[in-house]
Chain A
């Protein structure tokens, strides 16, 4: 089955710095890669996603890049702010069109210090 590896498990940065979280996947048929942010005690919330026909997508301070050949994708957060502190999960789709499921990575705890 699909395996999604995520690194690092924890990341500490100073406010204003950039943060990068990396994920790799195993199923070459995966075509959808969302990123979720989960604050303590709250539900995971979708922050950005990318499909396999696109190499990069940006939304204000966050961007995601995808390298299909290498089977890895990354989340980039620029100008980090304390409110970016949370656990971030990557995911990759698995399964046939119409019955896809998401396999999640193990999460990255991001801490942004003022």
Chain B
């Protein structure tokens, strides 16, 4: 099966600029996640969608980050305006429920550098 697709793979912007990341999950996976992984740390959940509805966005900095999954398939994550501390890899994942657990598959990530 095809994996989780993300683009762009790399993005360099200056602070206060905006950026958008795109994710296409595995076909049939209803749940989609955006994680932020700062260098040397574990992934931190930003937002979780179930189909096109938001399940959890408690750790999303809503003053600058937004995400949508309009048709319950593809998703975009936007940052506006970017700060230096937003430099990280943004990982998209989708999941299939197996025996009562959400088994996540990650995309390759989008590496953001904010100068």
Binding site for B on A (CB under 8 A): 4, 6, 31-32, 34, 36, 42-46, 49, 51, 89, 91, 93, 95, 97-107
Contact between A104 and B42 (Cβ–Cβ < 8 Å)?
yes
Is B56 part of the contact surface with A, judged by Cβ < 8 Å? yes
| Inter-chain contact A101/B56, CB cutoff 8 Å | yes
Question: Which chain B residue shows the least CB distance to A45?
Answer: B106
Interface size, chain B (Cβ < 8 Å): 24
Tell me if B19 is interfacial: C-beta within 8 Å of chain A: no
Chain A positions within 8 Å of B41 at CB level: 106-107
Pick the contact of B45 from A36, A51, A102, A107 — CB < 8 Å?
A102
CA distance A97 to B101 in the complex (A): 8
Within 8 A of A (CB), among B38-53: 40-45, 48, 50
Chain B residues close to A by CB (< 8 Å) = 33, 40-45, 48, 50, 55-56, 91, 97, 99-109
Q: Closest residue to B58 on the A side, CB-wise?
A: A1
**Would you call A43 and B100 a contact (CB within 8 A)?**
no
B103:A49 contact, CB within 8 angstroms: yes
Measured between beta carbons, the chain B residues less than 8 angstroms from A43 are: 91, 106-109
